[in-house]
């Protein structure tokens, strides 16, 4: 599901309407945050997102 939505973002043309389910958005953000965690610095906003969405 998230892959389909992500591909829509890649090929977005200005003026088009692009909508997707909340779950796809969360999955895309989760993937990005997982990659971000691998970096030396971890931002407080990333921790906040994970806490709010996943109760961590």
In a domain, 44, yes or no: yes
Residue 14 belongs to a domain: no
pTM as predicted: 0.51
- If you average pLDDT over residues 9-29, what whole number do you get? 82
Domain that residue 28 falls in: 2-9+19-54
For residue 38, pLDDT beyond 70: yes
pLDDT at 42: 63
Higher-confidence position of 46 and 48:
48
Is there a contact between 50 and 33 (Cβ–Cβ < 8 Å)?
A: yes
As to burial, measured by CB atoms within 10 angstroms (0-12 exposed, 13-18 middle, 19+ buried), residue 12 is exposed
Between 52 and 17, name the one with better pLDDT: 52
| 49, part of any domain | yes
Domain tally for the chain?
Answer: 1
Confidence band, pLDDT 50/70/90 cuts, at residue 12: confident
Mean pLDDT, rounded, of the chain: 79
């Amino acid at each position: 599901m998230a892959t389909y939505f992500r591909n829509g973002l890649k090929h977005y043309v200005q003026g088009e309407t692009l909508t997707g389910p909340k779950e796809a958005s969360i999955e895309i953000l989760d993937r990005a945050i997982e990659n971000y965690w691998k970096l030396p610095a971890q931002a407080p906003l990333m921790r906040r997102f994970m806490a709010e969405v996943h109760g961590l």
